[in-house]
Structure 1
Amino acid sequence: MTDPVVTVMVVDDHPMWRDGVSRDLAEAGFDVVATADGVRTAADRAAATQPQVVLMDMQLTDGNGAEATAAVLEAAGAANVLVLSASSERDDVLEAVKAGASGYLVKSASADELIAAVRATADGQAVFTPGLAGLVLGEYRRMSTVPADDGPPLPTLTERETEVLRLVAKGLTARQIGTRLGLSHRTVENHVQSTLRKLQLANRVELARYAIEQGLD
Structure 2
Amino acid sequence: MAEDAALTVMVVDDHPIWRDAVARDLAEDGFDVVATAEGAAAARRRAAVVKPDVVLMDMQLSDGDGVQATTEVLTVSPSSRVLVLSASDERDDVLEAVKAGATGYLVKSASKSELCQAVRATAAGRAVFTPNLAGLVLGEYRRIATSTNSGPAPPSLTERETEVLRYVAKGLSAKQIAAKLSLSHRTVENHVQATFRKLHVANRVELTRYAIEHGLDD
TM-score scaled by length of structure 1: 0.87
Q: Please identify, of 77-86 and 194-203, the stretch whose mean Cα deviation from structure 2 is larger.
A: 194-203
Give the distance between the partners of 2:43 and 2:197, measured in 1 at CA: 26
1:138 aligns with 2:139: yes
Asked if 2 retains the 8 angstrom alpha-carbon contact of 1:9 and 1:51, the reply is: yes
Letter in 2 for 1:119: R
Q: Match for residue 65 of structure 1?
A: 66
Letter in 2 for 1:100: G
- Deviation sequence 1:59-104 (CA, Å, 0-9, x none): 0111111111111111111111110000111111111111111111
Give the distance between the partners of 1:161 and 1:179, measured in 2 at CA: 15
Give the distance between the partners of 1:5 and 1:185, measured in 2 at CA: 23
Q: Which runs of 5 or more structure 1 residues have no equivalent in the other structure? A: none
Instruction: Return the offset for 1:215.
Output: 3.7
Give the distance between the partners of 1:145 and 1:197, measured in 2 at CA: 24
Asked if 2 retains the 8 angstrom alpha-carbon contact of 1:54 and 1:79, the reply is: yes
Q: Match for residue 207 of structure 2?
A: 207
Give the distance between the partners of 1:3 and 1:38, measured in 2 at CA: 27
Give the distance between the partners of 1:212 and 1:101, measured in 2 at CA: 16
Q: Match for residue 163 of structure 2?
A: 163
Q: Which runs of 5 or more structure 2 residues have no equivalent in the other structure? A: none
**Structure 1 residues 157 and 111, CA, compared in 2 at 3 Å: closer, same or farther?**
same
The number of equivalent residue pairs is: 216
In the TM superposition, what are the counterparts of 1:177-188 in structure 2 within 5 Å?
177-183=177-183, 188=188
**Structure 1 residues 131 and 202, CA, compared in 2 at 3 Å: closer, same or farther?**
farther
- Deviation sequence 1:20-53 (CA, Å, 0-9, x none): 1111111111001111111111111111001101
Q: Match for residue 84 of structure 2?
A: 83
In the TM superposition, what are the counterparts of 1:1-217 in structure 2 within 5 Å?
5-147=6-148, 150=151, 154-155=154-155, 157=157, 159-183=159-183, 188=188, 191-192=191-192, 195-196=195-196, 198-201=198-201, 203-217=203-217
- Deviation sequence 1:147-200 (CA, Å, 0-9, x none): 36756x755545543322122223434443232123455664564455445534
**Structure 1 residues 3 and 205, CA, compared in 2 at 3 Å: closer, same or farther?**
closer
Instruction: Return the offset for 1:144.
Output: 0.7
Instruction: Return the offset for 1:213.
Output: 2.9
Q: Identity over aligned residues, as a percent?
A: 70
Give the distance between the partners of 1:197 and 1:41, measured in 2 at CA: 36
